[in-house]
Chain A
Amino acid sequence: MDLHYLTAHELGDLLQRREVSAVEVTEAIIERIKAVDGRVQAYLTRTAEEALEQAKAVDAARARGEEPGPLAGVPMALKDNLCTGGVRTTCASQMLAGWVPPYDATVVRRLKEAGAVILGKLNMDEFAMGSSTENSSFFPTRNPWDLERVPGGSSGGSVAAVAAGEACYALGSDTGGSIRQPASFCGVVGMKPTYGRVSRYGLVAFASSLDQIGPITRDVTDCALVLGVIAGHDPSDSTSADLPVPDYRAALQPEIKGLKIGVPREYFGAGIEPEVETVVRRAIAKLEEMGAICEETSLPHTEYALPAYYLVAPAEASSNLARYDGVSYGLRVPGKDIIEMYMNTRSQGFGPEVKRRIMLGTYALSSGYYDAYYLKALKVRTLIRRDFEAAFSKYDLLATPTSPTVAFRLGEKAGDPLAMYMSDLCTIPVNMAGLPALSIPCGFSQGLPVGLQLIGKAFDEATLLRAAYAFEQATEYHRRRPELGVA
């Protein structure tokens, strides 16, 4: 039995029945990491020792007859922008290459309380800015389905680790598609919950009004399990919603008869690869065949989402990243005075994409440009939100491709930021509206995974999970595993 490719709920069952120990499972996955991470390069920091300690503690609890819960003893890993007390958190940036947080993010604390075994910290685009993980200042992560291709981004390390059996599940963050697009590229399940569903406390901010933490898993059941642990109000995050968290696992009924699904035509526009469109339309036909009522609809302001996003997100980022100044933590490159120290530190500490976005955002907020850019973008954001509101007055869910393309080759778009930005065309509007969405494997194109994006009503992750679960039960795509070679 390959322990490293079992899902969390499968492992949880084995652990609860005492058929394996958490230490055995953890050791197996540590072995797997040793065997394949040289090729995949998902991990920035490995915490094998701490992981084994956590595993031992879970085994000890079970030996005492306690039952610490379904995720206890299941090994997982974290995107490296989630703060882990005592374990360095780099955001894949030279700026924080040696920074060790003194505190745990709320999601990390909740996972630890649930008995999670944390294997380490995963690669990403620097400060979560990018769609390929090539913007990591350490090294790029490879797509386990084709090592010459990108895993997507910015949570590329997280999805690659889950796809390659280097972690049973992972947490990522999604500001414009950073969980869903790589999940689509690597054939795993990735969810961006509703804005406010999961506490952002301890997530190193990129764009605060868009960022959301979410699960990356190998099936929908795991997604429901992990979401159930990390979701819920947090008094440390003013933007977290004080709403009850439903039992997501109980919502997993393979029954979608009568579910109304809108298919927005704007998401199948120019730039979509024909074969991706075919695969996604086939998946939608499958949903229909299963009893859902699917019909074409329109979200007329979709084309403005991307430009508006590239004002709102950089504007917030320019302010969020101002704190990296070399004064009290992180990289410091000395200078003859404080201004020169700021400039040297920020010139050397940030990579080109981060600098580009800081400049874009600074410009958008500048006196004389604010109304034309930032304020206008906020108005567009309202229009996009209203598009969705109108659609959700008719439909329970929306179905779209997650990304217009399958995984592209390393270097293919690295020199063309605009082409790279287009990769998030289908995911960005969801962040702008604060809605929940997930990507599930729905087929293959050129031997590479294709993702189906389902978008739900605010705080209705349960319906999303139910539809995704029904689709998964009716298909086999999520069972295929990459060969970790070159296509």
Chain B
Amino acid sequence: MEYEAVIGLEVHVELKTNAKAFCGCTTAFGGEPNTHVCPVCLGLPGVLPVINRQVVEFGLKTALALNCQVAPFCKFDRKNYYYPDLPKNYQISQYDLPLARGGHLKITVDGEERVIGITRVHMEEDAGKLIHVDGPDGGYSLVDYNRTGVPLLEIVSEPDLRSPAEARAYMEKLRTILQYLDVSDCKMEEGSLRCDANVSVRPRGSQSFGTKTEVKNLNSFRSLQRALEYEIERQVAILESGGRVEQATMAWDENRGVTYVMRTKEEAQDYRYFPDPDLVPLEIDAAWIERVRRELPELPDARCRRLIDDYGLPAYDAGVITSSRDLADYFDRVVALYPDAKTVSNWIMGDFLRLLNAGNLEPGQSPVPPEEMASLLQLQKEGTISGKIAKQVLEEMFATGKGARQIVEEKGLVQISDAAALTQIVEEVLAANPGVVEDYRNGKDKALGFLVGQVMKATRGKANPGLVNRLLKERL
């Protein structure tokens, strides 16, 4: 039997607000343990939370960008459970009246576009971090409360995803949107973007759902995809051998490449949600929603469309370039100075991204400003340097931060397009390779390439390749 997977994702996003959700402490990542804390986020006796307006603002932005309906009235609830990284032993969250519901986003996998439903978006606070120290009797644990109270958005998708690749595409698209909104760092490795996956399998074509498991601890796009692939395979194997999938919470073990059971259904916790009496319900008026909507930046889908329509870029190029707001901004700035969009796109998708990745840099951290990228392309177009030299110059620009013209001048990389200067070298190469010349004259066209290469070598790549070709042919 053929099976299909049914996947829904619960994504947690740490918001980079100026302060924590319910107190004035910084949300900055890192810092000495327990230095970004105050009585409120430490949950000391007697303290009270006050909602940071910016958290709601960021939540609204996100909800609107995800095409959600914002609730005119929402409230905060307490989710009660004991864990040593949770100082109050309850988490302030939103239960039955979340900030927003009923949105969607679009993903494209293998050229096919799909609309994925968003069930809800709600606000909550993050917990602290436990550091386990091994030792006799099982060791001990230390708690760092710096992260405690950092605002989170939980974004829950509908079970609309049908493959690990779609799940990954959803997660990447969501991250792109969040980056465009500038509401989160979205660094999975630092935990500012986290994901739990609900997954079940069913015979293809079936309308009912199978028993799902929830997979936690997915700390990268890669582990999301791998864990889902593993878990789907595991569930299919159970069904094919006549067994039943048990509802459970699973964890992904990145090193062993397996999921394992954390909690079974019987051990499921009763969180005893109830409205937090320390916080008043939030009423979000239409004017606020409209203001946030007006101020939304151009979002990835619209921007992608614009690159296709205005510049005639292929959909693939537009998709890659708009997958990051910084990259798309970079593209726009280069194109403004060097209006050959396809050439710019080729360079950005090729050497530029390769060099960024090699340096482990984000597009916003490029050592080559867009103006310099444009002037590099201009040098090539003018014929001052060859395409090959341009690639070398770009590497040099990444390495040193120097401008394109400066490097070309300092290193004497200006292309030799002076026939008189090249004729001498061409004559020498012909004289030094009589056998190859003979081959060419006997009809071996490939021999010409060798001779061109020799001229380029002799000029350290600076010779104008078209001119070299012409000069060689004239003499052969």
Q: A319-B274, A362-B272, A365-B274 are in contact. Are A200 and B82 (CB under 8 A)?
A: no
Q: Chain A residues near B280: list those with CB within 8 A.
A: 238-239
Are the C-beta atoms of B272 and A367 separated by less than 8 Å?
yes
User: Within 8 Å CB of A370, what residues of B?
Assistant: 272, 274
Q: Does A323 lie at the interface of the complex (its beta carbon under 8 Å from any beta carbon of B)?
A: yes
Residues from chain B with a CB closer than 8 A to the CB of A319 are 78, 80, 90, 272, 274
A103 contacts B42, C-beta separation under 8 Å: no
The total number of A-B Cβ pairs within 8 Å is 98
Known contacts A101-B46, A236-B48, A323-B89; is-contact A316 B277 (Cβ 8 Å):
yes
Q: Which residues of B contact A344 (CB under 8 A)?
A: none
Cα A367 to Cα B268 in complex, Å, equals 11
- Whether B82 contacts A342 by the Cβ 8 Å rule is yes
Closest to A93 in B: B45
Given A239-B278, A322-B89, A367-B272, check contact A99 B39 (CB 8 Å).
no
In the complex, which residues of chain A have a beta carbon less than 8 angstroms from the beta carbon of B44? Answer: 101-103, 329
Q: A366-B270, A374-B274 are in contact. Are A236 and B50 (CB under 8 A)?
A: yes
Q: Mark B340-381, 1 if CB is under 8 A from A, else 0.
A: 000000000000000000000000000000000000000000
Determine the distance from Cα of A205 to Cα of B89 in the docked complex, in whole angstroms: 14
> Is A238 in contact with B48, judged by CB distance below 8 angstroms?
yes
Q: Does B465 contact A (CB under 8 A)?
A: no
Chain B residue numbers with a CB within 8 Å of A327 are 84, 87, 143
Q: Is the interface of B mostly helix, strand, loop or mixed?
A: loop
Taking CB atoms and an 8 Å cut-off, the chain B residues in 83-129 that contact chain A are: 84, 87-90
Whether B43 is near chain A, meaning CB under 8 Å from some CB there, is: yes
How many angstroms between the C-alpha atoms of A203 and B278 in the bound complex? 12
Best-surrounded residue of B43, B51, B145, B277 (most CB of chain A within 10 A):
B277
Contact between B45 and A204 (Cβ–Cβ < 8 Å)? Answer: yes
Bound: A177/B138 CA distance, A: 48
Question: Could you tell me the distance in whole angstroms from the C-beta of B250 to the nearest C-beta in chain A?
Answer: 22
User: Which chain A residue shows the least CB distance to B81?
Assistant: A322
Give CA–CA (A317, B43) in the complex, Å.
15
A473 within 8 A of B: no
Give the most central of A318, A327, A366, A367: most B CB within 10 Å. Answer: A327
Interface residues on A, range: 35 or more
Given A239-B278, A365-B272: A328 and B42 interface contact (C-beta under 8 Å):
yes
B51's nearest neighbour on chain A, judged by CB, is A238
> CB within 8 A of B270: which of A202, A204, A367?
A367
Q: Which of A91, A207, A365, A367 has a CB less than 8 Å from the CB of B45?
A: A91
Docked CA distance A103–B44 (Å): 10
Whether the pair A102, B89 counts as a contact (CB closer than 8 A) is no
| Chain A 281-323 near chain B by CB (<8 Å), digits 1 or 0 | 0000000000000000000000000000000000110110011
Are the C-beta atoms of B80 and A208 separated by less than 8 Å?
A: no
* Contact (Cβ within 8 A) B272 A338: no
List chain A residues, Cβ under 8 A from B274: 315-316, 319, 365, 370, 374
- Asked if B471 CB lies within 8 Å of chain A CBs, one says no
Q: Is A246 located at the chain interface by the 8 A CB criterion?
A: no
B296 at interface, CB cutoff 8 A: no
Shortest CB–CB separation between residue A409 and chain B, in angstroms? 32
Complex contact B46–A83 (CB within 8 A):
yes
Residues of B within 8 A of A239 (CB): 48, 277-280
Q: Is the CB of B80 within 8 A of A238?
A: no
Contact A237 to B82, CB < 8 A, known contacts A362-B272, A367-B272: no
Confirm or deny: B47 has a beta carbon within 8 angstroms of a beta carbon on chain A.
yes
Q: Name the distance in Å between A45's Cβ and chain B's nearest Cβ.
A: 15
Contact of A322 among B84, B88, B277 (CB under 8 A): B88
Q: Which of A81, A83, A328 has the most B CB atoms < 10 Å from its CB? A: A328
Q: Are B87 and A328 in contact (CB under 8 A)?
A: yes
Q: Is A89 an interface residue (CB 8 A)?
A: yes
Q: Which listed residue (B45, B270, B278) contacts A323, Cβ 8 A?
A: B45
Would you give 16 A-B contacts (Cβ < 8 Å), ordered by A?
A: A89-B46, A91-B45, A101-B45, A103-B39, A201-B46, A201-B48, A204-B45, A205-B45, A238-B279, A318-B80, A323-B45, A325-B89, A328-B42, A329-B44, A366-B270, A367-B270
Given A239-B279, A239-B280, 15 other A-B contacts at CB below 8 A? A96-B45, A99-B45, A103-B39, A103-B44, A105-B46, A205-B46, A207-B277, A238-B49, A315-B274, A319-B90, A323-B88, A327-B84, A328-B42, A365-B272, A370-B274
